[in-house]
Amino acid sequence: MLATIVLLFILAGLALYTVLGGADFGAGLWQLSAGRGPRARTIRDHAHHSMAPVWEANHVWLIFALTVAWTAFPAVVGAVASTLTIPLSIAGLGIIARGIAYALQSATEVPHERRVIDTVFALSSILTPYMLGSTLGAIASGRVPIGNAAGNLVTSWLNPTSILCGALAVAVGAFLAAVYLAADARRLGAGELQRAFRARSLAAGVAAGALAVAGLIVVHHDAERIYRGLTSGWGLAAVIVSALAGLTTLALVWGNRFQLARASAALAVVAILLGWAAAQRPIVLPGLTLRQAAAPHDTLIALIISVVLGGLILAPSLGLLFHLVLAGNLDPTHQPTVPLTPPSARHAPRSGRLAQLAIGCLLVGLVLLTLADPDAAHIVGVIALLTAAVLGFAAVAPDQTTLDDAPPR
């Protein structure tokens, strides 16, 4: 029961990483396929600006899923990471390359520099989701045995199911990105961009759907257990939901109803992921059920408490970010509503007085931390020292000292 709850957390993290981070990978792919010239430039810029404010947050979902996984199912993470060391290392390198390219994108406007940067960004945007997808394929087809690097280091991720899952991950990202970018273009009132990404949404949607159907055929031959799971019970329900949501998305995009299309596209993708989880259960790795893989009871409880409390802080924060982004408050064209009215100057405490207090705190800290031995004294001592630091900073008043400074030399 507890293990299932934690598994749902991980699936939620993976689902959000797929619909948010995946779209970000997809945006990278569209940057590559934009071609050259001023029109391609606007497509690339649009893809970059749309993703920029949410870029960091989207990618933390992967870290979230990973850290929860290694806390709750440590043996699974150990087995997966050691057997699938090659695709995961390549994904890691892809993440570095993307980060570099992303950081540089806003730093230069020189065309040939931008071209190199965009190409690196786009290639790593394909490589990384492919490798992560093939990792899931390896788990799904039961090619990761329990133990430290116990599986085949090559065929575990170079096999029909893995290749298909990798390709599907790339296609799904491209599809989501195109739909989101079309919606953003509509909000910005950029008609040509909207048409460009509408066409891309339709093409990528058809491609992702075709790959998903091909996937059923491949797992029929390569991962029989998953095939049976996907054609019965909850697995089948998820497949049907995904198919319907996918078709609905295509219809909505066709009719330029992009805001609704965002949601149905995300649903189509999440349903695939949940379908896989339903088909896979209760076995995580060959011979290892979810219950056997789970960490001790107290760990699961502690983790659930932490995730719920963290979620209570995180959910409104994320809500705020996406509200600001989707309402256009962080668009380059947005103007602030309230001008700054600084308060009238207030009498600041004298520097000398602050310095005396700082030295007093320093002496208290010195006695309690350095000379005294009990732990309680150390705690008070550290607090006194940190207070001394703050008071010292205020006493120096670095925002003012420089005014009466002597000229150089």
Site for another protein in 80-109 (CB under 8 A): 80-83, 85-86, 88-89, 91-93, 95-100, 102-104, 107-108
Residue among 63 and 251 whose Cβ is closer to another protein: 63
If one counts every other C-beta atom within 10 angstroms of the C-beta of residue 73, the result is: 24
3 state SS of 270: helix
| Smallest separation (angstroms) from another protein to the CB of 378 | 7
Q: Give the interface size with another protein as a residue count (CB under 8 A).
A: 112
| Tokens found for residue 371 | 């000379």
- Considering only CA atoms, which of 351, 337, 347, 360 is closest in space to residue 400? 351
Phi/psi of residue 151, each to 5°? -90, 175
How far apart CA 358 and CA 396 sit, in angstroms, is: 11
- Residue 143's Cβ-side half-sphere holds a number of Cα atoms within 13 Å equal to 22
Verify binding: residue 334, another protein, rule CB under 8 A: yes
Verify binding: residue 340, another protein, rule CB under 8 A: yes
Q: Which of residues 47-76 bind another protein (CB under 8 A)?
A: 52-57, 59-60, 62-64, 66-68, 70-76
| Smallest separation (angstroms) from another protein to the CB of 134 | 15
Verify binding: residue 389, another protein, rule CB under 8 A: yes
Verify binding: residue 189, another protein, rule CB under 8 A: no
| Smallest separation (angstroms) from another protein to the CB of 374 | 12
Verify binding: residue 158, another protein, rule CB under 8 A: no
- Considering only CA atoms, which of 172, 177, 178, 173 is closest in space to residue 242? 172
Which of these segments, 36-44, 207-215, 275-283, 300-308, binds another protein (CB under 8 A)?
300-308
CA–CA–CA angle 178, 181, 184 (5° rounding)? 155
Q: Which of residues 240-259 bind another protein (CB under 8 A)?
A: none
| Tokens found for residue 407 | 């000229």
How far apart CA 361 and CA 274 sit, in angstroms, is: 57
Handedness of CA 82, 83, 84, 85 (dihedral sign): positive
CA–chain centroid gap for 248, Å, is: 26
Verify binding: residue 295, another protein, rule CB under 8 A: yes
Residues 6+ apart with CB under 8 A from 125: 24, 25, 26, 27, 28, 29, 31, 32, 98, 173
| Tokens found for residue 207 | 């491609």
The residues pairing with 288 across neighbouring beta strands, listed in sequence order, are 285
Verify binding: residue 324, another protein, rule CB under 8 A: yes
Verify binding: residue 185, another protein, rule CB under 8 A: no
Which of these segments, 220-228, 233-241, 254-262, 320-328, binds another protein (CB under 8 A)?
320-328
Residue among 53 and 160 whose Cβ is closer to another protein: 53
Interaction pattern, residues 9-48, with another protein; x per rule: CB under 8 A: ----------------------------------------
Q: Which of 5, 123, 188, 321 binds another protein (CB under 8 A)?
A: 321
| Smallest separation (angstroms) from another protein to the CB of 174 | 22
Q: Which of 129, 215, 275, 365 binds another protein (CB under 8 A)?
A: 365
Handedness of CA 151, 91, 321, 196 (dihedral sign): negative
Verify binding: residue 347, another protein, rule CB under 8 A: no
Which of these segments, 134-142, 213-221, 281-289, 373-381, binds another protein (CB under 8 A)?
373-381
